Amino acid sequence: MPENLIGKRVDVLDKGYVELQDLMPHPASGISGDSAIVSAARVSFLGESKGPEKDKKLLFYLMRNHHTSPFEMVEFKLRVRAPLLTWWQWTRHRTFHYQSANAQSGRYTPFDENDFYVPSEWRRQSSSNKQASEGTLEPDVSRELTDKLIAFYEKGYALYEEALAAGVAKEMARLFLPGFSVYYTWVVKTDAHNLMNFLRLRMASDAQYEIRVYAQAIFEHFFKPALPWTAEAFEMYVLNNPSQPEGAAT
């Protein structure tokens, strides 16, 4: 595992990021996450490592046959900055239900003028899926919409500052801010099993772009380096076989 993985930050969208704050087992322990998963599986028989080849074979067996509880022995703690339209999906994600989360509060911390998401392009509404998009609008139309969106942000933020200056409480002044576009910072923690469920759904091609890019960043920059065997098995048996049903935890 790369020694500098903890503390690494990856930029996402225009102003967001994902940062790995902590990991269990911690890299300083000298125990890899993959080894911790294998050890948890073998404890049923009071067994230990049988060498890399057999250990990896067992981990792949666990993934292939949906023996999920050993994967809960590894935990990721992430600091994430994302617009509310992303968090709206993230926090309601049922396969992320073991997470612990703590969020920035607009009641205590004032928002900055640039705390708004500006998309790089505007997607069209899907003609066959009421909750999806497909394709993009023409560049000139997109530029016009972006200009209007920025003007909307500037007006809302000016009213927000005006309310604060008038003595309005921050918890009420934020009513002037465009809700779905405001960036919030969260600290979230979850185990590898539930994180894989999240990644399986949110990296899918039909997931909304604004959450898909966060899932992809977590997988590529943190999950794969921390759990290379698990990531390989996950890609083989889950990502490349999405129709395979999820098994119950054992």
Is the predicted pLDDT of residue 23 greater than 80, yes or no?
yes
Q: Which residue spans within the chain are E strands per DSSP?
A: 9-12, 16-24, 75-83, 100-103, 123-125, 133-136, 183-191
Is the predicted pLDDT of residue 119 greater than 80, yes or no?
yes
Q: What is the pLDDT of residue 73?
A: 93
Q: What is the pLDDT of residue 107?
A: 57
Residue 13: its H or E element:
none
Please compute, for residue 115, the number of CA atoms within 13 A of its CA located in the half-sphere on the CB side.
21
Please, is 79 exposed, middle or buried when counting C-beta atoms within 10 Å of its C-beta (0-12, 13-18, 19+)?
A: middle
Between strands 75-83 and 100-103, the pairing is: unpaired
Region 12-38: what's the mean pLDDT? 94
Region 107-112: what's the mean pLDDT? 66
pLDDT top residue among 154 and 101: 154
Is the predicted pLDDT of residue 47 greater than 70, yes or no?
no
Region 42-68: what's the mean pLDDT? 85
pTM, entire model: 0.88
Q: What is the pLDDT of residues 197-242, one digit of tens each?
A: 999 999 998 899 999 999 999 999 999 999 999 999 999 999 987 5
Please indicate whether residue 202 is annotated as part of the active site. yes
Please compute, for residue 38, the number of CA atoms within 13 A of its CA located in the half-sphere on the CB side.
23
Q: What is the pLDDT of residue 106?
A: 57
How far apart CA 87 and CA 195 sit, in angstroms, is 15
Is the predicted pLDDT of residue 249 greater than 80, yes or no?
no
Is the predicted pLDDT of residue 68 greater than 60, yes or no?
yes
Q: pLDDT exceeding 70 applies to what percent of the chain?
A: 85
Q: What is the pLDDT of residues 124-171, one digit of tens each?
A: 887 777 677 888 899 999 999 999 999 999 999 999 999 999 999 988
Nearest to 69 by CA among 93, 98, 90: 98
Residues 79, 81, 202, 212: which is the catalytic one?
A: 202
Our separate counts of H helices and E strands in the chain read 9, 7
